[in-house]
Copies of this chain bind each other. A is one copy, B any other.
Amino acid sequence: MNLPSRVILKEVGPRDGLQHEKRSVSIANKVTWINMLSDSGLRYIECSSFVSSSWIPALSDAEEVFKQIKRHPDAIYCALVPNVKGMERALASNVDELSVFISASGTHNRKNINKSKQETYPVLDKVIKGSLAEKKRVRGYISMVFGCPYEGEIAIDEVKKICEKLFHLGVYEISLGDTIGIAHPKQVERLLTELKNYFGSLDNFALHFHDTRGLGIANSLVGLQAGIQTFDGSLGGLGGCPYAKGASGNIATEDLAFMLEQMGIATFIQPEALMNAAIFIEKVLNHNLPSHQLNLYKKGVDSWNLFAQK
C-alpha cells in the first residue's frame, strides 16, 4: 500500500457542518469551538461563509466570528465566498484564505446560486483576482463531482474541464466534493486516475466526502492510495445537504484521523483535545453526532490507545 507520510486535514465543520443545523449557535460558542479545533492540532479551519444572511442565516455572523477567534500562529483560518461582495467582506475580516465554489452539475449550480456554470466563471474570476491582489490564496470547491440528484452521474471530462478552468483562474487547490455521499471506491479511483493522467499529479487536489452511505472512509483510503494528501472533514461527522433527502455530514475528521494515525500517517492531531472539541459542539447542538471515535470516547474508551481498553 503506497501511502503518504503525512496528510493535511481541512476542518470544514464550522462552515459545511453548522450551515445545515437547525439550532442556532451563538457567536461565543462558535468562537470557543474554533479555538478548541486549533488547540487540537488542526491547522486549517474553514470558519464560516460570507454569504447573504438571508441565504444561510446560520452563518450570518461571519465577521464577528473572525473578529473574536484566537488566531493560532500556525493555523490557516479560511472562509467560503460566493461572490465579490462576499470576498470584500472576507478580506475586511482578514481571512487567511478564501474558498470559491461551483457545481459540476449545471442544474445544481443553478439551484444553488441561480447561475449557469458559464455565468459563474466570471464571478469566480473577479473573486480570485481580488483575493490574489490582497495576497490571499484561493481554494476551489467543485460540488456533485461524483453525481447529482438532478443530473445523475457527471462525466469525468466535464470535471476535468471545470478543474482546468479553476486552475487557470488561479486557485491553488481544488477540493472534489461528493456533496450527497454517493461515490464508491471504484468511481473514486477512476476519476483520480484520469485527473492524475491529465494534470500530471494530484498534488493540487483534495477530497471532500460525505458519509451518507457509509463509504466515506473507504473512498478516502482510495484517495490516499492514489496520492491525495489533503482531505476535508467535519468534526463529529457534522453536516448534511439540503439537495438530497437523508444526505448526511462530511466524514468525521476524528475517524479519518484515527485511520491515518494507525497507518503511521502523521496528522499532528491531539486526540484528547479533538474529542473534547467534539463533545463541546455536540452539547451545544444538543443532538448526537455520528462519529465512531466520539461515541467510543463518550463510553469512556481510550480508543486511540487501542490496547488500553480492557
Q: Residues of A with Cβ closer than 8 Å to B?
A: 1, 3, 147-150, 152-153, 180, 182, 184-187, 189, 211-215, 217-218, 220-222, 243-246, 248, 252, 255, 258-259, 262-264, 291-293, 295-296, 299-301, 303, 306-307, 309-310
Task: Tell me if A152 and B307 are in contact (CB < 8 A).
Answer: yes
Task: Tell me if A259 and B309 are in contact (CB < 8 A).
Answer: no
Partner of A246, one of B148, B186, B212, B303: B303
Provide the residues of chain B in CB contact with A186, threshold 8 Å.
Answer: 1, 3, 262-264
Provide the residues of chain B in CB contact with A184, threshold 8 Å.
Answer: 259, 262-263
How distant is A142 from chain B, measured CB to nearest CB, in Å?
A: 18
Partner of A259, one of B3, B185, B263: B185
Interface centre among A186, A214, A299 (most CB of B within 10 A): A214
Q: Write 13 A-B pairs (CB below 8 A) sorted by A numbering.
A: A1-B189, A180-B309, A184-B263, A185-B221, A185-B259, A211-B292, A213-B255, A213-B292, A221-B221, A221-B222, A243-B310, A244-B301, A245-B309
Provide the residues of chain B in CB contact with A152, threshold 8 Å.
Answer: 306-307
Provide the residues of chain B in CB contact with A307, threshold 8 Å.
Answer: 147-149, 152-153
How distant is A233 from chain B, measured CB to nearest CB, in Å?
A: 12
